[in-house]
Amino acid sequence: MLRAIFLLLACQLAGEGIHRLSGIALPGAVIGMVLLLCWLALFPRERPGLGAVTAWLTAHLAVMFVPAAVGLVDEGAVLSRYGVSLVIATTLSTVLTLVVTALVFRWALRRVASESEAP
Amino acid sequence: MNEAALLATPLFWLTATIGLFEAFDTLSRRMNRHPLCHPVLWSTPVLIAMLLATGTTYETYKAATMPLSLLLGPAVVGLAVPVWRERERIRRLAAPIALALIAGAVTSMVSAVGVLALFGPPWTILASIAPRATTTPVAMAVAGQLGGIPALAAVIVLFAGVVGAMIATPVLNLLGLRDYRARGFAIGVAAHGMGAARAFQVDATAGALASLGMALNAVATAALLSLVAALV
């Protein structure tokens, strides 16, 4: 368990380091995620501890961003001015993304299927 | 110890945040996890009202709840685990996954920023909506780096999740899309973890593909926006 926590923290720390030293604009945690993926690929083995820790973190992700959302307390002016336009833009973008992603996925799936059937 | 001093201890706000979240989470479970009953949607306004009522600054609250925020980083790193677990499927479906991911990531950024730009908001607001399809912690980090407002990004992402979870089934049925892989992946890319939670309610394959879509889009959107930031 502790080893899994250390692995996650070490990947994040390395990610933050790469982010700061190289000037890559990707957030440190996202670089850390790529590093962890590389680590798992380099040293493949059963990791029940890591599975348990990440499952717990993912299951409780929502409570972790409450403190950030409460930060809206200082953004009253922005919300009252742009609240409606934010709702419109977010709704349209979500529907459009859903449709485009699904259609492209289906189209590519059919192409792959028809290619593998061809002689 | 007087009342004001108790409010000033980090323990008070940490306890209040977790307690309120748990209470609303229980309610949400009773409502069969309806997206509109998402616990963040309800605990946030209550906490804001408490801050205002007690005259507590956000800085105080933020410092008190730091232990929760600190967990976000390792949680994002941990998204690598489901991706690794799905590696066989990724290999088999490499082309559909890669193409749909890029199409989805670009569509989400361009449409969100494009529509919002019509209303003429300042850059800070546009930067806050650009990563709206990624999972909340990534959106907050990316928005912060682009010069946006992390708190606003968090709420936009949450709202996108509510919309996605509510409209996905009717919209995908309207398209006549029956393949659960395409359906799941699309909802994960469009509506992150909340979409994935909805997908798991419908079908296990859809849920697995949705988690994958969420994790991959966190990297894709963050990478594309970093590129944009570097070029601008």
Are both A46 and A73 inside the same structural domain? no
Check A72 against B103: CB less than 8 A apart: no
Of B40, B81, B103, the CB nearest to A65: B40
Final residue before a domain boundary, out of A27, A47, A64:
A64
Confidence of residue B153 (pLDDT cuts 50, 70, 90): very high
H/E stretch holding B57: none
Measure Cα distances from A34 to B74, B82, B193, B212 in Å: 12, 12, 19, 14
Cβ-based neighbours of A51, under 8 Å, separated by 6 or more? B81
A25 CB-contact burial (10 Å; exposed 0-12 / middle 13-18 / buried 19+): middle
Confidence of residue B174 (pLDDT cuts 50, 70, 90): very high
Check B219 against A30: CB less than 8 A apart: yes
Minimum distance, in Å, between the CA of residue B155 and any CA atom of chain A: 6
Contacts of A78 in chain B (CB under 8 A): 124-125, 149, 152
d(CA B184, CA B4): 49
Give the per-residue pLDDT at B3. Answer: 62
pLDDT in tens, chain A (119 residues): 899 999 999 999 999 999 999 878 788 999 999 999 999 999 999 999 999 999 899 888 888 889 988 988 998 888 899 999 999 999 999 999 999 999 999 999 998 877 765 54
Are both A16 and A41 inside the same structural domain? yes
* CA-closest candidate to residue B225, choices B79, B113, B149, B121: B113
Are both A3 and A52 inside the same structural domain? yes
B167 and B226 Cβ atoms separated by less than 8 Å: no
Give the per-residue pLDDT at B203. Answer: 85
Check B76 against A112: CB less than 8 A apart: no
Domain that holds residue A2: 1-64
DSSP secondary structure code for residue A43 in this structure: S
Give the per-residue pLDDT at B175. Answer: 92
Give the per-residue pLDDT at B226. Answer: 87
Contacts of A91 in chain B (CB under 8 A): 163
- Has residue B4 got a pLDDT over 70? no
- Has residue B2 got a pLDDT over 90? no
Of A66, A85, A99, the CB nearest to B40: A66
H/E stretch holding A11: helix A2-22
Are both A88 and A53 inside the same structural domain? no
DSSP secondary structure code for residue A1 in this structure: -
In tens, the pLDDT along B108-119 reads 999 999 999 999
Q: Give the A window 82-111 contacts with B, CB below 8 Å.
A: 82, 85-106, 108-109, 111
Final residue before a domain boundary, out of A64, A79, A100:
A64
Residue B24 token pair: 């609303």
Extended beta strands in chain B, E state: none
Query: How many residues would you count in chain A?
Result: 119
Residue B75 token pair: 């949680």
Q: Nearest chain A Cα to B44, which residue?
A: A70
Q: How big is the CA angle at A78 (ends B187 and B122), to the nearest 5 degrees?
A: 85
SS (H, E, C) B147-181: CCCHHHHHHHHHHHHHHHHHHHHHHHHHCCCCCHH
Position B167, amino acid = I
DSSP secondary structure code for residue A40 in this structure: H
Check A90 against B156: CB less than 8 A apart: yes
Are both A22 and A52 inside the same structural domain? yes
pTM of the model: 0.86
Between helices B136-146 and A28-42, what is the axis angle to 10°? 130
d(CA B198, CA B180): 13
Neighbours of A38 (CB within 10 A): 12
| Overall domain count for chain A | 2
Are both A95 and A112 inside the same structural domain? yes
Give the per-residue pLDDT at B165. Answer: 87
What was the ipTM of the complex prediction? 0.89
Cβ-based neighbours of B179, under 8 Å, separated by 6 or more? A105, A106, A109
Give the per-residue pLDDT at A119. Answer: 47
Position A32, amino acid = G
Are both A60 and A102 inside the same structural domain? no
Mean pLDDT of the B2-18 span: 82
Per-residue buried b or exposed e for A77-87, using 16+ beta carbons within 10 Å of the residue's own CB: ebeeebeebbe
> Which of B81, B145, B202 is the best residue to mutate to test the A interface, defined by the most A CB atoms within 10 Å of its own CB?
B81
d(CA B46, CA B40): 10
